Amino acid sequence: MAFDFNAADFYDTQSYAKETARIFDICNGCRLCFNLCPSFDVLFKRIDELDGDMDKLTDKDTKKVVDLCYDCKLCFPKCPYTPPHQYMLDFPRHMLRGKAIEAKKHGVTLQDKMLSNTDLLGTVSTKAAPIVNWSMEIKPFRILMEKTIGIHRERNLPKYSSQTFHAWYEKHKRSDARISPPDVERTGHSTDEKPKVVFFHTCSVNYNDVDTGKAAIQVLEKNGVHVEVPPQKCCGMPYLDGGDVDNAKKHAAYNLSQLAEYVKKGYDVVSPGPSCSYLMKQEYPMLSKDPDAKLVASHTFDLMEYLAKLNKERKLSTDFKESQGNITYHLPCHLKAQNIGFKSRDVLQLIPETNVEVVAKCSGHDGTWSLKKENFKMSLEVGKPLFDKFTDGAAAASDCPLAQLQIEKGSGTKPRHPIQILRDAYGLEQDPKE
């Protein structure tokens, strides 16, 4: 059967067990994903221990497989049995259903409640950013955090900004700092036929990595793109990580109510966060039956995908001032799962004397999964083949803010978002406050 968040039997344990048996049986016959992640590793080893007798798999075995899935989505594009194949196999979403049933039965854990509410955490933490950032470096405090909410003491966490991106943008749009639209000759479009985007900034940009948001606005404005930034909430991905489908649906509904009005007026939705753009493209139409979900999804672009589109339409300025040398670029899993190719690489390679090496390996951070003390060490093992690529002194880039943290933890090199590199190449100045 096709996966459906809104099916009447979504939370029914018997229906879930039947579907689990069906999926595990197909996967056992296929085993293409044997080395993809700990979930498949544990599943296939357990089946082998049971001499292939699938009937002996217990609920405990299934829970282990579910808990080890960090929703990277890598198995989905790889699988030959996904819809429209008659098997209608959707391994990652079935794992998500397992988490949702667990959360419905026992309640969302305190840990997941804390980690999911990125807007509340961000709002409080930005108000006291220096103290919060300082306390994250204090060992006894980290031990306390580990014991109370289960965040591993050695997990490097993002720093909070004292000013949110949204607050900065409100000032920016009224200031002279806005880059005036370039002339027709440079970008190929006149000011009255400007491309229009609504910028979905993401929690990470709003509360932590404000500079990525500023760079995005600088580059979009340089290219004559009209930008709007309406009120918005977390995309909902962290709620899905913890199995809280109801809250993910609420967040999707709020964002759709804000974004759909713009799309109906001819705007595209652009986001710098791979997981957020993935969610809006692929999961919003599944979480929400509102026709606006499909409308918004079909007009949503990853930021670099959008710039590549402008380039294809001969509307992207190639007025570069500085070459960027060698760049090692990490392709995040949630961009891979969007099936859009290598758009960040394609755009960065427009910069003269710039070479981009793509590394398409999972970082192992994956949302809230690697924050948890039971997963942290395993997450570093998953990311090891990726970390090894970031040791040759080349500039490092990744679109994913969590992969950036994980690569920094594993290799000592902190990648930047490709949009920050592009801003430098254009010779646009970084805000000195960043």
Query: Which of 47, 66, 79, 210 is close enough to bind ligand SF4 by CB under 6 A?
Result: 79
Query: Which residues in the 2-31 window bind ligand SF4 by CB under 6 A?
Result: 26-27, 30-31
Residue (33 or 197) nearer to ligand SF4, CB: 33
Query: For residue 84, is the peptide bond before it cis, meaning its omega torsion is within 30 degrees of 0?
Result: yes
CB of 333 to ligand SF4, least distance (A): 7
| Other residues' Cβ atoms within 10 Å of the Cβ of residue 51 | 7
Nearest to 352 by CA among 244, 280, 426: 426
Q: Is 42 in the site for ligand SF4 (CB under 6 A)?
A: no
Query: Which of 92, 181, 238, 332 is close enough to bind ligand SF4 by CB under 6 A?
Result: 92
CA distance linking residue 280 with residue 285, whole number of Å: 8
Burial class of residue 226, CB neighbours in 10 A (0-12, 13-18, 19+): middle
Q: Which stretch binds ligand SF4 (CB under 6 A): 33-41, 184-192, 263-271, 281-289?
A: 33-41
Q: Which stretch binds ligand SF4 (CB under 6 A): 76-84, 149-157, 202-210, 352-360?
A: 76-84
> Which structure tokens are listed for 19?
């579907």
Q: Is 89 in the site for ligand SF4 (CB under 6 A)?
A: yes
- Tell me how many residues contact ligand SF4 (CB under 6 A): 24
Q: Is 307 in the site for ligand SF4 (CB under 6 A)?
A: no
Q: Is 90 in the site for ligand SF4 (CB under 6 A)?
A: no
Own/partner long-range contacts of 186-193 (Cβ < 8 Å, ≥24 apart): 186/317, 186/319, 187/223, 187/224, 187/315, 187/316, 187/317, 188/313, 188/314, 188/315, 189/224, 189/315, 191/224
Nearest to 338 by CA among 372, 300, 385: 300
CB of 288 to ligand SF4, least distance (A): 22
Q: Is 151 in the site for ligand SF4 (CB under 6 A)?
A: no
Burial class of residue 266, CB neighbours in 10 A (0-12, 13-18, 19+): exposed
CA distance linking residue 74 with residue 82, whole number of Å: 13
Query: Which of 33, 227, 347, 380 is close enough to bind ligand SF4 by CB under 6 A?
Result: 33
Q: For 108, left (φ over 0), alpha (ψ -120 to 50), or beta?
A: beta
φ and ψ at residue 213, rounded to 5 degrees? -65, -40
Task: Give the β-pairing of 395-398 and 325-330.
Answer: parallel
Q: Which stretch binds ligand SF4 (CB under 6 A): 71-79, 187-195, 295-303, 403-411?
A: 71-79
Q: Is 72 in the site for ligand SF4 (CB under 6 A)?
A: yes
Q: Which stretch binds ligand SF4 (CB under 6 A): 63-71, 135-143, 264-272, 342-350?
A: 63-71
Q: Is 54 in the site for ligand SF4 (CB under 6 A)?
A: no
Query: Which of 66, 95, 235, 371 is close enough to bind ligand SF4 by CB under 6 A?
Result: 95
Query: Which of 19, 37, 342, 413 is close enough to bind ligand SF4 by CB under 6 A?
Result: 37
CB of 425 to ligand SF4, least distance (A): 33
**Which parts of this chain interact with ligand SF4 (CB under 6 A)?**
26-27, 30-33, 36-37, 39-40, 69-75, 78-79, 81, 89, 91-92, 95
